[in-house]
Amino acid sequence: MKNTTPEDQIKRSRMESMNKNGEVISDGKKKPILSYAEVAKKRENSKHRDSKEDSQEMRKSIKEMNPKERYDYFSKDRGKIFRFDVKPWMPTFEIDLLIEKKLRPLTQVWSKTKITDIESKKTWRQASKIMIIATKVLKSYDTRKVDYDGTSVEDNRKKGKVKTIEQVRFFTKSKISTLKKRVAYLNEKKRRDRIRMRFRSKPSLKSLVDTTPLDIEIDKSEIEKYLIDLFSKKDCEVPEPESLLNKWVEYSKNTTSIDEDSKPNFNEEIFNECLKWSRSWKAPGTNKLYMKIFKVLNSCKIFLMEWIKAVYERRCNLTDEDTRGRAFGIFKKGNIDDPKNYRFINVTNSHYK
């Protein structure tokens, strides 16, 4: 009998475990013999599968995260901010302590004797990111349902009543397309009825021509020019004593110098009253900060209060990023090309308001 090498024994056992088609035969007890390439591919697939399962498990366990873990989780999220209500089970005290540690060095900036515009902008940018993440962390706790007895109820879906996301999207798209067709039909019917009535009252070819003005968006440069000219006027058309615009312009003028003896003092009681009656979810400005975060977390409230103190005592100026906002024009009636026929809604930063 010839001496066989280990390589020959492996080849013989592999040939015996194959059928005529070259497929590996498995009797249920012995594992099929795999090549090195097949083993490497299997290991690679198992790695991807494990990492995918770990990520899914991480997303599902967000309800079990503490405030610090949720802050780290939402720091990588760039989604929208949704409204929430403060619930009894929200760990607002722990979240406030966490945010206070992160805002502490930024809050100390407002205690300086002189703060430059660049330093003020940089401080508000960093603080806005922290407070936006804090808002998302608070929102993550507003997901629990409570029954009539005050007992928490798990958010379980009823398969027979809840539709899938695909069905909801399909229904919404079909409904929108149907409504658009209906609106187009009604507008066309209204136009024809208008022409028919005009022709009956005055039969002529000129009456058949539709002279309805088209909805054309007004140029933004014309609106800006109109507003600049409007606010640059010193005198108001309304006579005294109803001319409050002139009084407000004179009152709001900043003085160049302040006497040390008559230096204004910050009134915390008035500040708390203004914060109390401010709209929590009013549309935010460019920094995307809602007023709600200043009401819920004391650390954010102190940051805002110290900044107002610095501005009030002339240690810090209002920068262009603080006062920057957006105006939206809503057409009222009359000529659509005339800026006077628009009502403007201004969206500014919450801390500036």
The stretch 263-278 carries a mean pLDDT of 85
Average pLDDT over the chain reads 76
- Rg (the chain; Cα; Å): 34
CA-closest candidate to residue 331, choices 204, 217, 232, 207: 217
Q: What is the pLDDT of residues 306-322, one digit of tens each?
A: 999 999 888 999 998 99
Is pLDDT above 80 for 251? no
What's the CA gap between 241 and 251, in Å, rounded? Answer: 15
* 39-43, 117-121, 289-293, 345-349: segment of lowest average pLDDT: 39-43
Q: What percent of the chain has pLDDT over 90?
A: 23
Give the DSSP letter of residue 18: B
Choose between 223 and 134: higher pLDDT.
134
Is pLDDT above 80 for 92? yes
**Pairing, β 342-348 against β 325-331:** antiparallel
Q: Give the pLDDT of residue 116.
A: 93
Is pLDDT above 50 for 160? no
Burial class, 292, CB count within 10 angstroms (exposed 0-12 / middle 13-18 / buried 19+)? buried
Where do we find the tokens 């022709």? 199
Neighbours of 349 (CB within 10 A): 19
Choose between 328 and 54: higher pLDDT.
328
Planar angle of CA 120, 102, 322, nearest 5 degrees:
25
The stretch 204-224 carries a mean pLDDT of 70
Q: Give the pLDDT of residue 347.
A: 86
What's the CA gap between 130 and 37, in Å, rounded? Answer: 49
Q: Give the pLDDT of residue 122.
A: 94
Band (133; pLDDT cuts 50, 70, 90): very high
Is pLDDT above 70 for 124? yes
3-state SS class at 230: helix
What's the first-to-final CA gap in the chain, in angstroms? 98
What's the CA gap between 188 and 199, in Å, rounded? Answer: 17
Is pLDDT above 50 for 152? no
Q: What is the pLDDT of residues 63-86, one digit of tens each?
A: 788 899 999 989 887 777 878 888
Query: Is 99 in contact with 299 (CB distance < 8 Å)?
Result: yes
> One-letter amino acid identity for 49?
R
54 Cβ contact list (under 8 Å, min separation 6): none
Q: Give the pLDDT of residue 253.
A: 61
The stretch 107-130 carries a mean pLDDT of 94
- What are the angstrom distances between the C-alpha of 4 and each of 16, 17, 33? 16, 19, 20
The DSSP element (H or E) to which 345 belongs, if any, is strand 342-348
**Pairing, β 145-146 against β 152-153:** antiparallel
Q: Give the pLDDT of residue 286.
A: 86
Q: What is the pLDDT of residues 98-109, one digit of tens each?
A: 999 999 999 999
Parse the chain into domains and list their residue ranges.
Answer: 6-61
Q: What is the pLDDT of residues 254-267, one digit of tens each?
A: 544 555 555 567 88
